C-alpha cells in the first residue's frame, strides 16, 4: 500500500485522451488479478438519440442555437458549450466549420490556440470559438459524466485516476492538460502517465510474472505508438538491481504529427484521384464517406490473405443513392505502395526524415510532419538515443494501424535489420485500440496493490535562457546562455537546487525566461551552462514567468533569487524561485498565451 493517495478509492480508472478517440478503462482495486474493462460512454449519435460506445470521438461540435435542446442528454452536459462524440465526428462532414478536430495537437503546438479561443480554425464569424484547453475540458467533462452515470456510488474524484499524455508533451502542455482535468472534475491527486508507458503496462498486465522470462538485463524495448494523429516513440531498458529486473524509460522522441488518420487520408486521396480520372467528382460529404471506406479497405487489403483488389463504393447523396453511387476498384498492391511504402519505407539506420518531402497535410494550421515516413523517424530516434551495441532487442507496437500484418511486419523487419536480426515483437491485436487506457488503469491498480513500475523521471532535460551580461550592440539580441534547471531522468517526488549566480527578479513587471527542453543532452547536470548548442538539440517551448508584487518584496525594486526545480509525485515539472534572503518561494508559471509582446 505504498503512497496510495486515495485511501478510500474503490477503482483504478485509466483515461486515454486521444487525438481522435478517447477511452476509459477501470478495474476494482479489490480484485486480483487486475483485469481492466472499458467504460461504455453514452453520447449523442443524432439529435434526440443517445447511444453508448466504447470510445468517445475527440471531436467537438458547436451547435446552432435552435439545435441545442435536441442535443441534451441525461449526462447533464451543456450543449451550448459544444457536443463531443459520435455526432460531432459525423458533423465534420456536413458542417466542418462548426467542428473542432485534433484539439490535442493544438494543445502542444505552442504558437497559438492553446488557451486562445481560435478553434474551429478559420471558422466563419457566426460560429463560437473555443480554445484547445476548453475543448480538452469538454471531452474530460463528458468522460467524467459517463463515469458518474455508471458508478454513482463511486464518484470519480475519490478514485485512483490515471490520465495519459503523449511522452512528447512538454511541461506547458502537461500543465494545460492538468488544468483541464481539474476543471472537469478529476481528483487533485490524479496521475499523469506517458502513453507509450501505458502501452507497456498493458503488456505487463497481460504477461503477469512471465515478463521476467521474456526479457533480461541489458535488453531494451522500443515502443512505437501510432495514434490517430500522432506518433510517439519511447525506449524502455531492462536492468538488474539487487537481483531484480527493473524497467527504466530511458528516452522519448519528439512530438510527431503523423498517425493513422493520415494514412486513411492518403489512401482516400489516391482513390479520389482515380475517381477524378474516371470522370467523377466528390462533394465534401462523399469525401468523408470515402475516407471511412478507405479505412475499411485498408484493413481488408492489408490483412493476411487479403484479396488482390477491393471495390470501394461511395453512395450518392440524397435520393439518388443508387444512381449516384460511384465505384472503383483498389488493388492491394496500390494500397500497399501508398501505406506500407509511403509511411513505413525500408530504410537504413543512417536515413533521416527528409525536411522538404511534400505531405499535403499543411492546410489546417498545424505543423504536420513534412516527412510522413515513420521508419525514418524511428531511425533518427534510435540514432539519437542508442549506441550500435545497445539497439533494441524487443519491439512493442500499439495503435489501430498495426492491425494490418503488412504494416506490422514491415516495421518489424526494418528495425530487425538494424539490430542484427535479433528482435522480438509483441502485439496483441485485441488491445491495439485500447491498450493505453487499459494499461493506465493497470498502473493505477499497481499503485495500490504493488507491481513492477517503470522508472524514468523526466523524459527531457529542461533549460531556461539567460541573456549574458556584456556590451549591448544596438539591433542585436544579447547572446543567450542556457542554464540547465533539471537533468533528464529527474525522478518524481524530488527537487534540485539550481546552482547559479543570483538572478534579480524585478518587482511589478513579469520576469519572463525563455524555456527549452532537450531529449538529446542526456549528460547535462543541473546548473550546467551552455553557451552554444546545435539547433536541434534544444527545443524552445512557451516561456516561463513570475510576477512579484511589492507585497512580496517590501520596498526593494528587485529580489535576488535562485531557482529550484521540482518534479511532483504526480509527474508534474515545476520551477520555483526562492529568495536568497529569507524563506520566500514563488512558483513560476508557463505563459501559454499568444506571444504578442517580446520578452523583456
Partner 1 sequence: MALGTAFRAFFGSLFNSETSARVQAALDGEDATEQATPRIEAPQPAGEPAAAKPPARSEALTLLAALQREARLVDLMQEKLEQFSDAQVGAAARPCLQQSAAVLERVFALAPVVEQAEGERVAVPEDASPAAYQWIGEGQDPTGQVVHPGWRATRVDLPQWTGRDSDARIIAPAQVKR
Instruction: Give the chain's length.
Output: 600
Q: Does 430 bind partner 1 (CB under 8 A)?
A: no
CB 428 within 8 A of CB 206: yes
Cβ neighbours around 493 below 10 Å, total: 12
Select from 31, 276, 327, 333 the one that contacts partner 1 (CB under 8 A).
327
What is the Cα–Cα distance from 582 to 98, expressed in whole angstroms? 53
Give the three cell numbers for residue 409.
Answer: 511486419
Stretch that binds partner 1, among 17-25, 320-328, 359-367, 491-499 (CB under 8 A): 320-328
52 interacts with partner 1 by CB under 8 A: yes
Give whichever of 117 and 296 is closer to partner 1, judged by the CB atom.
296
Q: Provide the minimum distance between the beta carbon of 95 and partner 1 in the complex, in angstroms, as a whole number.
A: 10
Counting contacts by CB under 8 A, is residue 315 touching partner 1?
yes
Q: How is the chain split among helix, strand and coil, in percent rounded to 5?
A: 30, 30, 40
Contact between 123 and partner 1 per CB under 8 A: no
Pairing of strands 191-194, 424-426: unpaired
For position 78 contacting partner 1 by CB under 8 A, the verdict is no
Segment near partner 1 (CB under 8 A); pick from 3-11, 25-33, 66-74, 574-582: 66-74
**Per CB under 8 A, does 49 bind partner 1?**
yes
CA pair distance 586, 436, nearest whole angstrom: 35
Q: Which is nearer to partner 1, 69 or 501 (CB)?
A: 69
DSSP 341: I
Establish if 73 lies at the interface with partner 1 (CB under 8 A): yes
Cβ(143)–Cβ(24) under 8 Å? Answer: yes
Measured from the CB atom, is 1 or 322 closer to partner 1? 322
- Give least dist CB 58 to partner 1, A: 20
User: Shortest distance, CB of residue 90 to partner 1, whole angstroms?
Assistant: 8
Residue 321 is a binding residue for partner 1 (CB under 8 A): yes
Whether omega for the bond prior to residue 33 falls within 30 degrees of 0, making it cis, is yes
Judged by beta carbon, residue 276 or residue 313, the one nearer partner 1 is: 313
**Stretch of residues binding partner 1 (CB under 8 A), selected from 40-48, 148-156, 200-208, 463-471:** 40-48
Question: Applying CB under 8 A, which part among 98-106, 268-276, 316-324, 379-387 lies near partner 1?
Answer: 316-324
69 binds partner 1 (CB under 8 A): yes
By CB under 8 A, tell whether 325 contacts partner 1: yes
Residue whose C-alpha cell is 503512497: 3
Distance (Å, whole) CA 562 – CA 502: 6
Distance CA 264, CA 226 (A): 13
User: Can you tell me the distance from the alpha carbon of 302 to that of 264, in angstroms, rounded to the nearest whole number?
Assistant: 13
| Smallest distance, partner 1 to C-beta of residue 220, A | 40
The size of the interface with partner 1 (CB under 8 A), counted in residues, is 30
The whole-angstrom separation of Cα 507 and Cα 552 is: 8
CA atoms within 13 A on the CB side of 412: 18
Q: Which residue has the cell 502513453?
A: 195
- Candidate residues 152, 243, 323, 582; the one interacting with partner 1 per rule CB under 8 A: 323
C-beta of 325 vs 550, nearer to partner 1: 325
Report, in Å, the least distance between residue 481 CB and partner 1.
57
> Which one, of 305, 291, 26, 289, lies nearest residue 148 by Cα?
26
51 binds partner 1 (CB under 8 A): yes
Does the protein bind partner 1 through residue 319 (CB under 8 A)? yes
The full DSSP string for 89-127 is HHHHHH-GGGEE--HHHHHT-SSSSSSS--BSTT--TTS
Query: Are residues 25 and 436 in contact, defined by beta-carbon separation less than 8 angstroms?
Result: no
Q: Which of 45, 127, 182, 303 binds partner 1 (CB under 8 A)?
A: 45
Task: Specify the pairing of strand 558-567 against strand 529-530.
Answer: unpaired
Residue placing its CB nearer to partner 1 in the complex, 88 or 314: 314
**Counting contacts by CB under 8 A, is residue 313 touching partner 1?**
yes
Is cis: bond before 92, omega within 30 of 0? no
Is there binding between residue 333 and partner 1 (CB under 8 A)?
no
Q: What cell was used for 498?
A: 539550481
Closest CA to 342 of 239, 400, 270, 443: 270
74 contacts partner 1 (rule: CB under 8 A): yes
Nearer to partner 1, 54 or 347 (CB): 54
- The residues that touch partner 1, with contacts defined as CB under 8 A, are 42, 45-52, 69-70, 72-74, 90, 94, 293, 296, 311, 313-316, 318-319, 321-323, 325, 327
Amino acid at each position: 500500500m505504498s503512497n496510495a493517495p486515495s485511501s478510500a478509492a474503490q477503482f483504478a480508472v485509466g483515461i486515454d485522451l486521444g487525438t481522435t478517440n478517447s477511452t476509459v478503462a477501470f478495474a476494482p482495486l479489490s480484485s486480483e488479478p487486475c483485469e481492466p474493462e472499458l467504460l461504455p460512454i453514452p453520447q449523442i449519435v443524432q439529435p434526440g438519440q443517445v447511444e453508448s460506445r466504447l470510445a468517445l470521438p475527440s471531436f467537438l461540435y458547436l451547435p446552432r442555437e435552435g439545435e441545442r435542446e435536441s442535443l441534451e442528454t441525461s449526462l447533464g452536459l451543456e450543449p451550448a458549450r459544444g457536443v463531443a462524440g459520435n455526432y460531432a465526428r459525423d458533423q465534420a462532414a456536413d458542417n466542418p466549420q462548426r467542428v473542432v478536430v485534433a484539439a490535442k495537437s493544438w494543445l502542444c503546438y505552442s504558437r497559438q490556440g492553446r488557451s486562445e479561443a481560435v478553434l474551429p480554425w478559420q471558422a466563419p464569424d457566426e460560429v463560437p470559438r473555443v480554445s484547445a484547453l476548453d475543448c480538452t475540458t469538454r471531452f474530460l467533462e463528458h468522460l467524467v459524466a459517463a463515469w458518474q452515470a455508471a458508478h454513482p456510488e463511486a464518484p470519480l474524484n475519490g478514485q485512483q485516476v490515471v490520465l495519459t499524455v503523449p511522452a512528447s508533451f512538454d511541461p506547458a502542455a502537461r500543465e494545460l492538460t492538468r488544468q483541464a482535468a481539474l476543471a472537469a472534475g478529476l481528483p487533485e491527486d490524479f496521475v499523469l502517465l506517458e502513453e507509450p508507458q501505458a502501452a507497456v503496462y498493458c503488456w505487463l498486465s497481460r504477461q503477469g510474472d512471465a515478463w521476467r522470462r521474456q526479457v533480461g538485463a541489458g535488453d531494451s524495448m522500443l515502443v512505437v505508438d501510432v495514434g490517430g494523429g500522432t506518433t510517439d516513440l519511447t525506449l524502455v531498458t531492462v536492468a538488474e538491481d539487487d537481483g531484480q529486473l527493473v524497467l527504466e524509460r530511458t528516452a522519448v522522441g519528439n512530438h510527431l504529427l503523423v498517425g493513422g488518420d493520415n494514412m486513411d487520408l492518403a489512401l482516400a486521396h489516391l482513390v479520389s484521384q482515380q475517381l477524378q480520372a474516371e470522370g467523377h467528382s466528390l462533394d465534401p460529404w462523399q469525401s468523408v464517406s470515402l475516407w471511412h471506406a478507405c479505412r475499411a479497405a485498408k484493413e481488408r487489403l492489408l490483412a493476411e490473405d487479403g484479396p488482390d483488389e477491393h471495390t470501394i463504393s461511395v453512395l450518392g447523396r440524397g435520393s439518388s443513392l443508387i444512381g449516384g453511387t460511384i465505384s472503383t476498384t483498389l488493388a492491394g498492391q496500390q494500397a500497399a505502395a501508398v501505406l506500407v511504402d509511403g509511411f513505413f519505407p525500408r530504410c537504413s539506420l543512417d536515413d533521416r526524415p527528409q525536411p522538404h518531402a511534400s505531405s499535403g497535410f499543411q492546410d489546417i494550421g498545424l505543423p504536420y510532419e513534412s516527412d510522413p515516413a515513420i521508419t525514418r523517424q524511428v531511425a533518427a530516434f534510435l540514432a539519437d538515443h542508442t549506441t550500435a551495441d545497445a539497439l533494441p532487442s524487443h519491439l512493442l507496437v500499439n495503435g489501430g494501424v498495426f492491425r494490418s500484418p503488412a504494416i506490422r511486419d514491415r516495421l518489424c523487419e526494418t528495425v530487425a535489420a538494424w539490430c542484427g536480426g535479433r528482435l522480438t515483437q509483441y502485439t496483441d491485436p485485441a488491445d491495439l485500440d485500447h491498450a493505453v487506457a487499459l494499461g493506465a488503469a493497470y498502473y493505477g491498480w499497481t499503485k495500490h496493490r504493488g507491481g513492477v513500475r517503470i522508472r524514468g523521471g523526466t523524459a527531457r532535460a529542461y533549460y531556461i535562457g539567460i541573456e549574458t551580461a556584456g556590451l549591448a550592440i544596438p539591433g542585436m539580441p544579447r547572446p543567450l546562455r542556457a542554464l540547465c534547471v533539471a537533468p533528464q531522468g529527474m525522478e518524481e517526488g524530488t527537487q534540485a537546487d539550481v546552482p547559479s549566480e543570483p538572478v534579480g527578479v524585478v518587482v511589478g513587471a513579469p520576469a519572463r525566461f525563455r524555456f527549452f527542453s532537450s531529449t538529446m543532452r542526456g549528460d547535462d547536470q543541473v546548473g550546467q551552462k551552455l553557451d552554444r548548442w546545435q539547433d536541434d538539440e534544444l527545443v524552445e517551448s512557451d516561456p516561463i514567468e513570475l510576477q512579484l508584487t511589492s507585497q512580496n518584496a517590501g520596498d526593494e525594486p528587485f529580489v535576488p533569487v535562485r531557482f529550484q526545480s521540482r518534479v511532483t509525485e504526480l509527474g508534474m515539472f515545476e520551477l520555483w524561485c526562492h529568495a536568497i534572503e529569507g524563506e520566500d518561494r514563488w512558483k513560476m508559471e508557463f505563459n501559454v498565451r499568444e506571444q504578442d509582446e517580446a520578452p523583456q
